[in-house]
Amino acid sequence: MISYPLDELAGALLYFKCENLQLSGSFKIRGAANAVFSLSEAEAARGVVTHSSGNHGAALALAAQMRGMRAWVVMPRNAPQVKIRAVEAYGADISFCEPTLAAREAAAAELLRSTGGTLVHPYDDDRVIAGQGTAALEFLEEIPDLDIICAPVSGGGLLSGTAIAAKSLRPEIVVIGCEPANADDASRSFASGQLEPGSEKFTIADGLRANLSPRTFAILRERVDRIMLVTEQEIVESMRLITEHLRSTVEPSGAVAASPALHRQIEGDELRIGIILSGGNLDPDKIPGQ
């Protein structure tokens, strides 16, 4: 998808990969489906378990439904209602926990013990990373001469898959990870060379609060060129611009990859910038600026 007014605003040629229009409302269906359909029949019979703030949980629930198997999803109590409803609609069993990574992991571990299911981690899983990389593969098949590709970063599954796919096809392409300034652990990890803890600050981009894993951090250090930070105000303004000019709804996390270009952190009249709009599961009752 393209928009000439957004090109003019950004001072570059922008191309949008609209994963907000995907099944389950985000790119997450790619990794979840790849993982679920990679399971043996014996594994599938026992079902799958995960923890998620919402989009991965919904995607895994849908992929499990498509294969005719059970899914158990641990979600934080403060997850957006629109994401809780999506997980429920796809038939998964939800367990709620406190909104911390430790609580999510502990609850998922207990479910693994009690159900015998297989863990499909939101991002620390090679099958999931490979699935997420198909978005970049499709992008570059359609627009092979992109100079830059931008993707959001949280746990690093999408950005890892994007970087592997993009650099394999075009080693010279610049891969940029985009991150809320209020959840900047990836940026700090890049700067220090070691995994840094998550931030305690609030960000409207609820889907980007996870931390990198050793697996994803190693991939990003090898293949990602830069991490760029965006403010909360820039995220909200990017959502508004995308809605206005692309006539497409994105959630805050989905707008983060567009923010650096739309706010001229990246610009150049001849630059061809690919932007992955990662999700569109926006709670209509909590639209910023209403």
Q: Catalytic site residues?
A: 28, 53
Cβ(229)–Cβ(76) below 8 Å: no
Placement of tokens 């490979």 in the chain: 130
Residue 31 CA to residue 50 CA, distance in Å, equals 13
Contact between residue 10 and residue 262 where contact means Cβ atoms under 8 Å apart: yes
- Provide the token pair at 49: 């378990």
Question: Which residues does 173 contact at the CB level (< 8 Å), separation at least 6?
Answer: 140, 146, 147, 148, 149, 166, 167
